[in-house]
Each structure stands twice: as C-alpha cells, then as structure tokens.
Amino acid sequence: MIRLHTVQEQDRELLWNINQKYLYEMTNFYDDPMDENGNYHYGNFDDYFIDPARVAYLIYNDETLIGFAMLCPYSNIGWDPDYTMAEFTVFPSYRRSHFAIHAAKMILDKHPGKWEIKYNVRNTGAKNLWNTVAAPYDPVIHQINEHESVLSFTTKG
C-alpha cells in the first residue's frame, strides 16, 4: 500500500542522499556537473526545511522506501501556481508497477489547487506519467524550450 511520509528535519540526510541519486539519473537529460565532493548542486534544498510553502514527501510501499516528491509554489511559466512538482521519482526497480501514478494522484488529492508540472520531453517515462496523471484536469501544455514542457491545471478539493 502506497503511503506518503512528510519529510521532517530528521529525514534531511535521507532526502539529500536519494535526491543526489535522482539528480545523477537526470544527467541523462540535463548537463549538470558534480561538484568537487561528487554532489550535484541543488540550490533550494535547505529551503524545504525552513520555507512553509515547500513540502517534501518520502514515498513508501508498505515499509519500503520507493521514491520521493518535492513541491514548491514557484512557477516555471509565470502562472502563480499553488503547487509545482519540483522533483518526483519512483526508484527504477519499482517502476512499471503503477506506484508512481498512485503516489502522484495521492499528492494531487492532498493538495487541491493550481498546479504546474515540468518534465523533459526526452524523458518518455516522465512525459507519459504526467500526461496520464494530469489528463482528468484538462491540462494546458506549455513548451518552455526545446526539451521542456510544463503542464498547468487545477485540481478540486
């Protein structure tokens, strides 16, 4: 059974570590170099522990950690959303089991309002996931550059 755990201060190191693995995976789509310590830059990471407008979730299937999500209210298209999916992943070994769809729907249900979700169009898994999840809300697709699209839509509470 999928459940969301709201990240707290005691989860900081865990979130940092799994986000680093996610950022490494995203180098398939973005040219982001590692720093001198072997980490990928994530400028707003600390804000998830001090900014009440940001929230992060660890995603579990029963007691097994299978992914995470990070939400913020900051727009990629100048729209003034209530929520933007800043980061979202289900770890590779748990993909193709509908866990990502279920977790994403849980997050949207938990946070009704104006949403933005950005994805790299070369990341076909993300593109398919977000178009499937957003479809019931009649999203508007914004092409923001050659490789990135943003879905904007509103969920009801």
Query: What residues does each domain of the chain span?
Result: 2-154
Average pLDDT over the chain, rounded to an integer: 95
Render pLDDT for 67-108 as a digit per residue (tens, 0 to 9).
Answer: 999 999 999 999 999 999 999 999 999 998 999 999 999 999
CATH number corresponding to 2-154: 3.40.630.30
- 116 token code pair: 């933005």
Closest CA to 2 of 85, 128, 90, 131: 90
Q: Which of 50, 53, 51 is nearest to 73 (CA)?
A: 53
> Is residue 54 predicted with pLDDT exceeding 90?
yes
Q: In this predicted model, what pLDDT tens digit does every residue of 19-43 receive, in sequence order?
A: 999 999 888 888 888 889 988 899 8
Query: Residue 88 is inside which H or E element, if any?
Result: strand 83-90
Q: Cα separation of 25 and 13, whole Å? A: 19
Q: Give the per-residue pLDDT at 28.
A: 83
Per-residue pLDDT at 81: 98
pLDDT of 130 reads 97
